Amino acid sequence: MDGLARAAVRAGALVAENAEVTFVKPLEKKPVQPTNSLQLQIHWRHSGRIIRKLVTAHGVLLATNAGGLHLAEKIFHAPPDPKLTFALATAPLTKKQIAALGLSSGRPFYTLDLPYLWGRLFETRSFRTKSKSKNRRMIFGSGLVPAFGEALRARTGKRRESLAGQNFQRIWSGLEFENIRRGPSLQRLKTLEQRVRSLHPALKDIRITHCWGGPILLTNNFVPIFRAHPTNKNLIFAGAYSGHGVALSVHLGNWAAQALLNNRQLPNWN
């Protein structure tokens, strides 16, 4: 994320941290305003205060995935499904262990069984200050909460407070209340660790250094949603990558920029 932010700033983008977009709507047409303009309500936390501001934009790309469902509204034919997915990182592996796993090339992999297990090598610098060597570790991921085909159970009495101090729609449809240290999320992490240790003898006793979970957005047919609002072509949603967003988000972000400049048509996927 830091690398993408730096690249965006170098390209001329302004990054507004601690700012919440509470709604996006078409602007009433006026002679002095271009057609298809959009209005955004912004709540910005600055120096202990909440600053409310309306911003007018010619084009808006909604690319916050599970965090942007309430802004997209009529873009969805069928609402996508927010879920948590899980990953873990291992302690450094030896060259012998990496070779035994068949991963000397550094190529990522995923298994054929469902829910599939994916894995990839990553490098970290040695903690020894005088050493220029890099440690090679593994990241593995698998599992969903709620499980595929299941919906998030409704919770009562727990609502997210917006930056304005008012009850507002849950940013991840309630997933923000999940705790990976207990319940179904903890069970998914335990299952993930068991799968990793049973994948190959070289991993049987490997030390797990980090575990985490994060939101993704799924569609029923696993086809991403890349579509404009039915009443305003300058409001585009790109997301629901079903766990493949690292590559697809960059590709479709470039495509969306071309579409907003009227240099390329959006696909007719769904």
Mind giving me the DSSP string for 87-99?
A: EEEEPPPPHHHHH
**Distance (Å) of CA 19 to CA 27, 51, 83, 125, 128:** 21, 9, 24, 34, 39
pLDDT level of residue 170 (50, 70, 90 thresholds): low
**CA angle, 101 then 190 then 2, to 5°:** 70
Structure tokens at 17: 């941290």
What is the DSSP secondary structure assignment for residue 209, as one 8-state letter? E
| Total-model pTM | 0.78
Q: What is the mean pLDDT of residues 158-177?
A: 50
Structure tokens at 38: 């959009």
Beta bridge mates, 21: 42
- Determine how β-strand 109-110 pairs with β-strand 38-46: unpaired
Lowest mean pLDDT among 7-16, 58-67, 174-183, 234-243: 174-183
pLDDT score of 114 more than 90: no
C-alpha 130/C-alpha 198 separation (Å) is 36
pLDDT level of residue 167 (50, 70, 90 thresholds): very low
The strands making up 134-145's β-sheet, listed across from edge to edge, are: 109-110, 118-125, 134-145, 81-90, 208-218
